[in-house]
Chains A and B, each alone.
Chain A
Amino acid sequence: MTDAADNEEETRGHSLWPIGFAIGVACILIGLVVSWPAVLLGAAITIVSGVLWIREAAGTHGPVDFAAGDALDGGTPSPALAAAEGQHLETHGRAGFLTLATIGLGGVIGAAVTLPSIGFAVLPSFTGEGIETNPVDLGPLENFPEGMFVITTFIGSKDQGEVSRRTAYIRNNGLSAANDPSFTIIYSRCVHLGCPVQPNGPKFEDKMVTYRDVTLTPVQPAGFGCPCHGGAYDTEGNRTAGPPVRSLDRYAFSIVDGNLVLGKHFSVGTVEGTAADAKISRYGQAYPGVHVDGLERWLYPIPVPGA
């Protein structure tokens, strides 16, 4: 191979057909998972690109120009062709084709193995699969004396068992102004970094009752405190001291056959007012430490799917 041939290769540039070929094969592979029409489309792209690729490789990758006009006119063959034949130069059309084919096919095989594996590793975390949406039944309303917090622990997911035991601080607020039942249900995890906040006040452990796998312990807190980094909250879950960036998360609730049933978990910006009259600025469930309101919320513009 001479320098001249190298330069010629450079000036001609690289073909786009191998890329089309690779796209076609990828389309076939994706189609096998997704739908048959995509397979047909991929096959068409593959065949067309492949044919054009071979045509181009065979037609233009010769080391010499054929000086077509001369040959057709019966004139002398071009001197370059004669020289090439004399020296038995390697025509790198074949070598180039094989090189590109190896790289292209290797890339396709590599992608076919890697992409599904990475998707398998990453995507299930964001589909929400494995999250149990069965409502949690916390038992009859009599267990929630009016005006008092109850430390309620429950199994969040029957499949996961004891590891999914969560704690909520639940206060029966009596009836609201509109004569609806009102409950304050505060999730125990600190909105700084997720440690369990504790009620600051006397616990009445002798009055603990259980309902199925739910435990209910009355408590009279003046507020909530986090043992990890000193976050402090009032009884509405508003931050009073320390590093937390919003108010404690809450649960919605419903009452089914006289039993209190936990609803959707949501995050709270701030709470104004107290108990049944509280005005809660409600946001979708966010990770601890993530701002839901104020300017800083723009640092977390994309909601995480599957949370």
Chain B
Amino acid sequence: MAKSARQAQIEKAALYPLDWTEERTGLVGYTKWFLFRHVPRDVNWMQTLGAATLTAFLVQAITGVFLAMYYKPDPNSAYESIQNISNEVTLGWLVRGMHKWGASLFIILMFLHMARTFLFGAYKYPRELNWVIGVLLLVAGMAEGFTGYLLPWDQTAYWATVVGININATAPFAGPFIAQFLQGGAQIGPDTLAKFYSLHMLVIPGGIMAMIGLHMYLVLRLGVTSPPWSKTAAGRPRPDAEPTGDRTGLTREPSSEETS
């Protein structure tokens, strides 16, 4: 049934803002390119763990940004400010709870995502670098956990950090220097708390965001891996033209099992 003139008019009016934006930025196209990708036909729920990890990180980032509005990184007021967030500030218990429990969730999801990648063989050519970045992300995530654990400034936080810093100090050669840098002096004190706060909310998250950008760029570029039991070859059809010149011999020919 042909559209009535009125329907066409409404459609045009609705799409106009999108067209206007697309014409000036190309963002609509890029968004489609980003979201509407080809994936293997037999992907499964395991392959959503990466997106779940990203979501957990975003929860940490958003709740953390707003917790910073009420938290005071000073030995005399840190503990009270946390109690204030939990008990007095409207919805503070919820946002702090999301940040506290979300932290564990983030680490657990990173490990599950890593396990999926390992068991599916998704770290293999050509995705080795993405595995490397992922491991760095795991390390950065653990560093977030370590620095964030001090911030409540209660007995658990203090002594866990004492032990954590001294474990760093036992590393041969560099250990004592790492410990000295972390606690900002000979003992844990006000400098340590401020330093951990800065590392926790500025330095390490900055690094994590940059690495997530690289990680996702490589996922977009290389595509999603088929599960190991897949009957179809991974990714889009390979281009007819093989790489030429110096790279001959460095690229892997798809074997007959893979293409079958």
Contact = CB atoms under 8 A, between A and B. Distances in A.
Interface of A: 122, 124-126, 128, 130-131, 156-157, 160-164, 193-195, 228, 285-290, 299-302, 304, 306-307
B159 A306 contact: no
B184 A125 contact: yes
B179 interface: yes
**Shortest beta-carbon contacts, A-B, top 6:** A287-B169, A289-B170, A299-B172, A163-B75, A193-B166, A194-B166
Nearest to A305: B180
B187 A300 contact: no
Given A125-B181, A130-B191, A287-B166, A300 B175 contact: yes
A300 B189 contact: no
A306 B173 contact: no
A193 B186 contact: no
A287 B159 contact: no
B163 A195 contact: yes
Main secondary structure of the interface of A (DSSP, over half): loop
Interface string B120-161: 000000000000000000000000000000000000000100
Contacts of B186: 128, 131, 285, 306-307
Contact of A304 (B76, B165, B176, B189): B176
**B interface residue count range (under 10 / 10 to 19 / 20 to 34 / 35 or more):** 20 to 34
Given A157-B189, A194-B166, A126 B180 contact: yes
Given A288-B169, A301-B173, A304-B179, 7 more contacts: A125-B185, A130-B184, A131-B186, A289-B169, A300-B176, A304-B176, A307-B176
Contacts of B54: none
Contacts of A301: 173
A193 B162 CA distance: 7
B190 to A, nearest CB: 6
Contact of A290 (B175, B181, B187): B175
Contact of A163 (B177, B184, B190): B190
Contact of A286 (B75, B165, B167, B176): B176
Nearest to A123: B181
Nearest to B76: A161
Contact of A124 (B163, B169, B177, B184): B184
Given A122-B181, A131-B185, A287 B176 contact: yes
Contacts of A299: 172-173
Nearest to B153: A163
A307 B166 contact: no
13 contacts: A126-B180, A157-B189, A160-B190, A163-B75, A164-B187, A164-B189, A228-B159, A285-B186, A288-B166, A300-B176, A304-B176, A304-B179, A304-B180
